[in-house]
Amino acid sequence: MALLSNNSHIVPTVMIDLTFDSGIKKNFAVEVRDVINVTYNNNGLATTIQGRVISINAANTAYSYTASGVANYDTTYCTNKNGPYLVIDGSDTYAGKTATVYLGTILDCDMISKWSDNYVVTTPPADTSADISSIDMIRLHEGNVEYTINNGETWNIVGVTADSLNALKAELKEYVDSKV
């Protein structure tokens, strides 16, 4: 038996677990491409950014080593600039206004939308008789369904609002199910 392919990779997820003095608790997973609203300590200032998580990065130096090779866990690694961090793009088109947010600096966080909840076209439809055959992606952005034919450089509004999106999803599911 010969190995034909090895597509192993890491899919980073951050567990947000916040408890406030009012008794409110927030606990959820954040993945790359999720949209979050996060308030964090930015050099002593509470700063808020809402945007798409572009990347999740591991700690640079969570451990230090003694001369004998024994690892010492750095208990401050989450609050200094050596700890794990999120890169968040807060621009309207998710293409520029980025912030680096270290996990230990998070003061508050809310999930706006999960990437896994969005129905994104990853392969253009095969029906070449229609204009939609060249669509790269579809997204729900600020209550509008939008599509792109140039890999996200520009987005066009379909004219469907969030109110009618569930009916559209049902029609699409029925169509896909009929093709399987």
Per-residue pLDDT in tens (0 to 9) along the chain, 180 residues: 777 777 776 667 889 999 999 989 999 999 988 999 999 999 889 999 999 998 888 765 555 555 555 545 444 444 556 678 899 988 776 556 789 998 888 999 999 988 876 655 444 444 444 455 567 677 777 767 777 776 667 777 776 566 566 777 777 777 777 766
C-beta separation of 141 from 48 below 8 A: no
140-143 contact pairs (CB < 8 A, 24+): 140/113, 140/165
How many angstroms separate the CA atoms of 62 and 7, rounded?
A: 28
CATH value of 13-115 in 2.40.160, 2.40.50, 2.30.30, 3.40.50 = 2.30.30
C-beta separation of 168 from 176 below 8 A: no
Domain extents in the chain:
13-115, 118-179
How many angstroms separate the CA atoms of 134 and 72, rounded?
A: 54
